[in-house]
Amino acid sequence: MNLFGGIEAGGTKFVCAVGTNPEDLREPYRFGTTSPKETIEKIIKYFKEQNKREKISAIGIGSFGPVDLKKNSSTYGYITSTPKIKWQNTNFYGKIQKTLNVPVGFDTDVNAAALGEHQWGAARDVSDFIYITIGTGIGGGGIINGEFLHGLIHPEMGHIFIPHDTKVDPYEGKCPFHNNCFEGLASGTAIKDRWGKSGEKLGRDHPAWDLEAKYISFAVINYICILSPERIVLGGGVMKQKQLLPMIHERVKSLLNNYIQAPEITDNIEKYIVTPELEDNAGVLGAIALAKGEYGKQ
Ligand SMILES: [Zn+2]
């Protein structure tokens, strides 16, 4: 069986691993994101060592972004206009591909995580679904008809605008581009900034969670109405607050008010809006799934 490498490239941490599927995930290597030069050197060193033990057939990269996914573009595989200044215009795909000389699959971190959930996790049985991660930032990826939704660039589902009642929540928002977009109001960074301590340190009954469930539900309703997904997977650090998911189920149902006549929502919303089955490995396993897909194209 061919061995694949995966790189989960996050804005705050990277995870590299080799393997073939969730039961065979080896040598996970986690480290904090620093400069592109230092980070890419660490990745290359890791895969060169792994490759000495057993040949790696292809590598997948699920990257924070925005990224250039247009195969015919001169900057394909670059990280482009990211707020992380040092990473702007970084030729990520090219450096990995040229140095390690294997096929490299490249997509956004959330699209990779979506692919992992599609192959092995919570979205195995559907062909049209979205994966949203709510953590330091908010991102969303989509699979439509079993293929990535790319379109113009790629979806940026965290940066949609949702109702913001400033009388209830005077917080101005944290997005460096839009202030009070969804990410600006509901990311883990926004929670910490608004309440003065991180989500993990707020109690389960803190009013933060009711507000958070409200914002996530607004966003989810927009995704449902625009994309008509067959499932919604909600991942990321903020979703580890177990009290949130039932609050979101209730709010989404009540806000939709029986308008969308689908039993998946009206009767079985617990199976419609779910958390990732691959849990913390969704990102790196998704990158391995990307590598497998790229190898299959050769
Ligand atoms: Zn924004």
Query: Cα(255) to centroid of ligand 1, in Å?
Result: 23
Query: Cα(156) to centroid of ligand 1, in Å?
Result: 9
pTM for this predicted structure: 0.94
Beta strands in the chain (DSSP E): 3-9, 13-21, 24-32, 56-63, 78-79, 90-91, 104-108, 129-134, 138-144, 147-148, 231-235, 273-274
Query: Cα(138) to centroid of ligand 1, in Å?
Result: 9
Query: Cα(266) to centroid of ligand 1, in Å?
Result: 31
**Residue 43's pLDDT band (cuts 50, 70, 90):** very high
pLDDT in tens, 62-113: 999 889 999 999 999 999 988 788 999 999 999 999 999 999 999 999 999 9
Query: Cα(216) to centroid of ligand 1, in Å?
Result: 14
Query: Cα(31) to centroid of ligand 1, in Å?
Result: 26
Residue of 138, 137, 115 lying closest to 127 (CA atoms): 115
Instruction: Quote the CA–CA distance of 6 and 207 in Å, as a whole number.
Output: 38
Peptide bond into 66 cis (omega under 30): yes
Query: Cα(220) to centroid of ligand 1, in Å?
Result: 16
Q: What is the DSSP pairing of strand 90-91 with strand 104-108?
A: unpaired
Instruction: Quote the CA–CA distance of 80 and 82 in Å, as a whole number.
Output: 6
Q: What is the DSSP pairing of strand 273-274 with strand 231-235?
A: parallel
Query: Cα(226) to centroid of ligand 1, in Å?
Result: 19
Residue of 108, 10, 126 lying closest to 60 (CA atoms): 108
User: What local confidence, expressed as pLDDT, does residue 75 receive?
Assistant: 97
User: What local confidence, expressed as pLDDT, does residue 1 receive?
Assistant: 83
